[in-house]
Amino acid sequence: MSDTPPEANPEAPMFDVDGEPSVLGVSDTVEFTRARRKELKAQRKEAKRLHKAAIYENTDDDIVFIYEPHVRYVPPLRPYARDLWTRRAFAVELARSKLKGKRSNTVLGGLWALIDPLFMVCLYYFLFSVLRGGQRPSEFIPVIISGILHFQVSAAALNEGGNSVSSQSGLMLNSTFPRMLLPISAIYGGFLKFLPSIPIILTATLVLDAEIGVNTFWWLALFPLQVIIGLGLALLISTLVVFYADMKNLLTYISRIVFFTSPVIWPADLPSDAIISVVRWMPFFGVFANYQAILGGESPDMTLMAISVGWAIGSVILGSWLFLRFEREFATKL
């Protein structure tokens, strides 16, 4: 046996095959601890780098996906957005197939998309006009028609969009695609339901002598705001529904609260009080209040427009961040 101390022997191995110090001296133990910490830190850093650097390779229009083990990080946004755009046909066909499936089971088919909201128009006009002694003039009918038909898009965002992930567990477990396509598809489905309503709104405004002028073109700005706010809320709610199943039972009540706190069937120019001061900060209040303004030939309220823009930006940023951060956990929770 050599008389040379282990720490003085340059050929003595520091670690054995199990990763433990071969010589349990004080200096070797300290050096092992430092080296081990450095190695673990490097491993964690590399794992984080690999997760953030998701690999997307285009080869003859085929997309190759490499998924790293789950880590709660938002994926790179540019490749994710490119993937969403590449799969846009999937979202469109998914929305159309759901719409056709619902219509094919009924005799009237697609007419129910118009009959149901028109029935609601007649019901609410009766409640708020006839039962109140005719306090709602006929000029308010276009407002009710426009409000209820436009709210179909928001209702689709809150209900179908909120359930879009939890209701597609089989599809998620058997297919590889960016999950954000599901709430986007629900929003598009609501838009498809709204399309047949446009001629009804135009007819009602013309027949009932609603004022149509230059301010009507503000609709081209208000409707995209409504859709963007709906998308942000759909991303946020769909994520919460996955992790908290009770949220699914609350969606109907949330939709009703949003409906009655937005000026869909009541005039937005009511005298300001404590309640109005609160509900004017609701997500869709500004949009529907300005719908009423342009139907009356007036310019939109810029303060309410700014609130709507704030809701659109804030809801999309928060909803997207929450959705993307927890997207990789959806399959394990459903």
Share of the chain above pLDDT 90, in %: 21
Q: Which tens digits make up the pLDDT trace of 156-176?
A: 999 988 888 888 877 777 777
Q: What pLDDT score does 29 carry?
A: 56
Q: What is the 3-state secondary structure (H, E, C) of 51-91?
A: HHCCEEEEECCEEEEECCCCCCCCCCHHHHHHHHHHCHHHH
- Give the CA dihedral 251, 252, 255, 261, nearest 10 degrees: -120
261-278 per-position pLDDT tens digit: 898 888 887 766 778 788
- Give the model's pLDDT for residue 83: 87
Highest mean pLDDT of the ranges 22-26, 141-145, 329-333: 141-145
Q: Yes or no: say if 124 and 265 are a contact pair by the CB < 8 Å rule.
A: yes
Exposed / middle / buried, residue 279 (Cβ in 10 Å: 0-12, 13-18, 19+)? middle
Q: What is the mean pLDDT of residues 12-36?
A: 52
Contact between 12 and 6 (Cβ < 8 Å) = yes
What is the percent of the chain with per-residue pLDDT over 70, rounded to a whole number? 71
Main-chain phi, psi angles of 15, to 5 degrees:
-125, 145
**pLDDT at 85 > cutoff 70:** yes
Query: How many residues in the chain?
Result: 334
Lowest mean pLDDT among 48-52, 53-57, 77-81, 153-157: 53-57
Distant-in-sequence, close-in-space partners of 128: CB < 8 Å, separation ≥ 6 = 135, 136, 144, 265, 266
**Strand ranges inside 206-249, DSSP E:** none
Classify residue 143 by burial, with Cβ atoms within 10 Å: 0-12, 13-18, 19+: buried
The residue assigned the tokens 């071969």 is 22
Query: pLDDT (tens digit, 9 = 90+) per residue, 288-328?
Result: 999 988 888 788 889 999 999 999 999 999 999 999 888 88
The angle at the Cα of 34, spanning 33 to 40, to the nearest 5 degrees, equals 85
Question: How far, in Å, CA of 87 to CA of 91, rounded?
Answer: 7
Res 20: pLDDT: 45
User: 21, 29 in Cβ contact below 8 A?
Assistant: yes
> What integer pLDDT is reported at residue 108 of this predicted model?
60
What is the Cα–Cα distance from 278 to 326, expressed in whole angstroms? 32
User: Six-digit token pair at 324?
Assistant: 């993307």
Q: pLDDT band for 22, please (50, 70, 90 cuts).
A: very low
**What is residue 16's predicted lDDT score, i.e. its pLDDT?**
46
Question: What is the chain's mean pLDDT, rounded?
Answer: 77
Closest CA to 83 of 180, 154, 167: 180
Quick: pLDDT tens for 97-135: 877 766 555 556 666 667 777 777 777 777 766 655 555
CA distance 145 to 129: 14
Highest mean pLDDT among 10-14, 49-53, 90-94: 90-94
What pTM was computed for the model?
Answer: 0.72
Q: Give Cβ neighbours of residue 273 (< 8 Å, ≥ 6 apart).
A: none
Say which amino acid occupies 18: D
CA distances from 213 to 65, 74, 103, 216, 294 (A): 51, 45, 36, 6, 8
